[in-house]
Each structure stands twice: as structure tokens, then as C-alpha cells.
Amino acid sequence: MKKPTFWMMALGFPLMIAVLYGIMFWSQNTTIQASKNLEKQEFSLEVTDDSKLVKPELLAAIKAKTAKSKESGIDDVKNNKVDAYVYFPKDLSKQKVEVYGKDVGLFQNGKYSAVAQSLLSQSVASDVNPAQVAILRDKVQLSSTTYLDGKEHGGINEMIVPGMFLAGFVHSHQYFWQSNAH
């Protein structure tokens, strides 16, 4: 315990895990913020909605125009008449929504798909009540209680502290034998 390598190993590993979790948390928040910013960016858009799910008021709110056909929408993007074109097929469960856009860089091209997804989500969400929206978006909060021999049992929660103790014991025991072998 007097050797500095013992303390470096004992404290270094948890510190490294904490740093990795911090980086993952920061990265996730940055990605979420970037996707929200992409949806807010304005660009010219044409849409063909064969699904009849997208609300016309939403299209008007983002100043999207209706394309005469799928081919004309794609041609308008190719000829730089509009920045993006979205085709919503008749059966969304069997066909993909097709998004065509002007290349604005690797990290900015996702804005077209984000707007298409947002148009669909907001259109459908307006037709269902808030409880159904929560279910569809997997936002339902669940509470789970388990019983063992008629008493409330913590399940996995009761294994966390003993598991951490066991992992720490094995790690320190292994390190002890390695440090004494030298």
C-alpha cells in the first residue's frame, strides 16, 4: 500500500471510467442539441405526400411547396430550384420515405431527414391524445415492484453493492498478488 503504483491503479481505473462516462454524456448532449438545431434551419422544400398523413398547416408553417410529382421534385433538387424534396409514400409501413437534398456538407445533410421525420411526428401526434403520444414515443414511466417470499424484493438493486464490493475485492486481491510477486 506504500507503493505509488498501487494508488495509481486503485484510483486511476475509477477515474478513467468517470472520464469516459463524462465524454459519452457530453457527446450525447451535443448530438441532441445539433439535431434540434438542424430542424430549425430554414431551407426551401418541396413535398409529395401520397400517405396523406402530413398536415397542410405544418407544410405552410415551414413554407414547403407541393411538388407536381416525385420526378419533378427530384429534378428541382438536381437543378438547384429547391434545397430539398421529400416523398412520403402511400404505405409508410412498407415503403421508405425518400429524402433528396442539396449537399451542404457531411454534418448538415441530416437536416433534411430531421425535418421529414418532424413533419410526420407532429402530424400524427396532433391526431392522438397526449397519453397515446407518450406510449408511441416510449415516454411512459413504469414502476416495477417484485416480491420474494411475500416481501418486497429489490431484485437487481440488491445486487449492485455486493457486486461492486466483489469486483473491488477481486481487483485489489489480484493487484496485491502482482505487487508482491515483484
Per-residue pLDDT of the chain (182 residues; tens, 9 = 90+): 678 787 787 888 889 899 998 998 888 887 777 666 655 667 889 999 999 999 999 999 889 999 999 999 999 999 989 988 999 999 988 889 999 988 877 667 778 888 888 888 888 877 777 777 777 666 656 555 666 777 766 666 667 777 788 888 787 766 666 666 55
Fold of 43-136: D-Maltodextrin-Binding Protein; domain 2 (3.40.190)
Bridge partners of 148? 151
Output the CA–CA distances (angstroms, integers) from residue 115 to 54, 56, 76, 164, in the order listed: 12, 14, 18, 44
pTM over 0.85: no
pLDDT at residue 66 in the model: 93
Query: Is the CB of residue 82 less than 8 Å from the CB of residue 104?
Result: no
Domain extents in the chain: 43-136
Query: Is the CB of residue 112 less than 8 Å from the CB of residue 74?
Result: no
Sign of torsion, CA 61 112 124 94? Answer: positive
